[in-house]
Chains A and B, each alone.
Chain A
Amino acid sequence: MKSYREVAGRIVLQAEFLLSMKARAIYVLVVLVGIVYSLGTVYKAYPIVASFGIIGSMLLEVALIALAAAMFDEISDGTVQMYLAAGLSRLEYVVSWFLVAVVYPAAGITAAMLVPALVVDPATIAMPIVPYTIGGFTPSLLIIAIATCIQILNNVTVALALGLKYKSKGIAYLVLAFLAFLMPLVLSMIVSFLGALAGDYYRYYSLYLLMLPFNPLYSLTIFSSSSPIRLSLTTILSVPAVVALVFFLLALYITRRELEV
């Protein structure tokens, strides 16, 4: 009978081993982004929070995919064989990479955003930090931190899962670039262009719903109380979280059924 405790132990051991080799620089970045975010909030530098929050999390996602790309390098150069030969399962190996490239950084940035605020002024955590309401809520630092965490989990997980399917880091980069940069940009352009043609900006606003499964940070801005489509905070946060979970399960399925090394 397989002991799940042993499996978890091996995953954490592998994640620690990978972290110690490859991830130090990325983790410094994670903490820096979080701290700037948090201090910007504490000292009410909202323009910094708004712009740095979105751009910073995008850059962080790119850095995380660059980190996760090492997994594809290990698969193509054969290093993975040495890990598996030691006695890891393919699933344990892939899950340990998810821990290193997705879960730890997401948890790290959330903690880095919240801890300084707690230290300087605990009330900041619940303080509204953006000037609009969503489904009756005004996003607080806590909500923004959760949205950032979910966005990183979602985007990097989707990119990793599709990269695994095709055993290609190029695909992973492409998917991430699409989710984090291209989709919001292209959708904004399309909605604006079509809206301008129709003489009604809000006419094609529903196209933004395409972003709901992947971009909670954008959704917080787009589906505000002033927009024609109003979504609850629960919907904005839970839909991408569920999508991330589905893609994570898909990655496990691909690993178990197809991943040859």
Chain B
Amino acid sequence: MHSMSEPVVFENVTKIFWGSKRVVRALDNASFKIPSKTVAGLLGPNGSGKTTSFKLVMGFLKPSSGKVSVFGVDPWVRGESVRRRIGYLPEKPVYPDVPVYRYLRYVAKVRNASEEDVSRIVRLVGLSGYVWMNTRGLSRGYLQRLGLAQALIGDPELLLLDEPTANLDPLSRREILELIKDLKKELGITIVIATHILPELQEVVDYLLYINRGRVVESGMLEELATRYYVDAYYYIEVEEPRKLASRLVVEDYVRGVEIRDKSLVVRINAAFKEELLRVLSLPEYSIGIRRVEMLTSELGELYEKLSGSSR
């Protein structure tokens, strides 16, 4: 029995596709867990097994061997009960050819959600002016909003977003990212984002899973990985007198940058020097005014390069 603190658990999962010309091992003995209430980034190059992992979580595919467990049950066997607790945005969604509102009402009926729920979500994702348009008439950006809307109906406990900003123009990409950030803040649910575009993950993820050629290369909390791989990280420090602390920190040779905000600082250091930073912050002249210290994010590009290097 798996702990409910890990909604997704893969144990030695292999998925093989038997084609007429070649056999593809999309996942190869993969084992990982996604912790509850995290925003997890599923990273890896194209064809690394990200979409296959999502399809296994959704119960669309049957593992060739190994065990997939979602909310403690096998999604291949009891897929519908699992899927009603998951919001899923596929990489290339194909929607039924009906007006947007009709499609969302249909999803709501299947999930026992109310009409009010549909209206609220339509407003949340910014689709209000497009509900009477046919799904096939929507632009790429609005199709992604529709994808998010259908995924959010019925208050899912887990969101799976497969390349949510792929093929979007910069403005749409920014809007979708802001939406995901709002979801993280407001709903506090587990979100898994599969992507190979790093900047978009930088601001939202706190857990990383890197897969390559179907194998899990590395997984862990972002802070833990940043420390392990000596990657630059950004720390947020809420403090009474930010200028005083900033002037103390800039003289430390491991500090690579300090940005003063209203009543806080954002300090960039190599994550390996975290203990050094904490030591300075614990000095009596600074510690009194400090209210909060947390890692904002780390340099994902750098981490990605190191992980790619280690998997070659």
Binding site for B on A (CB under 8 A): 10, 13-14, 17, 20-21, 77-79, 81-90, 92, 258, 260-261
Contact = CB atoms under 8 A, between A and B. Distances in A.
Contacts of A81: 58, 60, 88, 90, 93-94
A89 B93 contact: no
Which residue of A14, A79, A87, A92 has the most chain B CB atoms within 10 A of its CB atom? A87
A82 to B, nearest CB: 6
B66 to A, nearest CB: 16
B106 to A, nearest CB: 5
Most chain B beta-carbon neighbours within 10 Å: one of A10, A78, A86, A88: A86
A261 B80 contact: no
A260 B110 CA distance: 21
Interface stretch (B95-103, B178-186, B216-224): B95-103
A260 B80 contact: no
B109 interface: yes
B111 interface: yes
B300 to A, nearest CB: 28
A82 B150 contact: yes
B155 to A, nearest CB: 13
Interface in B65-123: 79-80, 83-84, 86, 88, 90, 92-98, 106-107, 109-111
A10 B110 contact: yes
B260 interface: no
Interface of B is mostly: loop
13 contacts: A13-B109, A17-B98, A77-B94, A78-B94, A81-B93, A82-B96, A84-B58, A84-B60, A85-B90, A86-B107, A87-B83, A87-B154, A88-B80
Nearest to A77: B94
Nearest to A92: B80
Given A13-B110, A21-B98, A87 B93 contact: no
Given A13-B109, A17-B106, A87-B111, A82 B84 contact: no
Contacts of B61: 260-261
Nearest to A91: B80
A79 B135 CA distance: 12
The range of chain B's interface size is 20 to 34
A17 to B, nearest CB: 5
B60 A86 contact: no
B109 to A, nearest CB: 6
A13 B93 CA distance: 22
A26 to B, nearest CB: 16
A188 B259 CA distance: 89
B94 A89 contact: no
B83 A84 contact: yes
A260 B88 contact: no
Contact of B94 (A82, A86, A258, A260): A82
B261 to A, nearest CB: 40
A77 B136 CA distance: 14
Given A13-B110, A260-B60, A260-B61, A85 B94 contact: no
Interface in B109-159: 109-111, 150-151, 154
Contact of A82 (B79, B95, B154): B95
Nearest to B105: A17
B215 interface: no
A85 B109 contact: no
Q: Most chain-B Cβ atoms within 10 A of its Cβ — which of A14, A17, A79?
A: A17
B268 interface: no
Contact of B90 (A14, A78, A92): A78
Contact of B97 (A21, A84, A258, A261): A21
Contacts of A86: 83, 106-107, 110-111, 150
B106 A79 contact: no
Interface string B193-208: 0000000000000000
A89 B110 contact: no
Interface string B295-309: 000000000000000
Nearest to A256: B77
A14 B92 CA distance: 22
Contact of B93 (A14, A20, A78, A261): A78
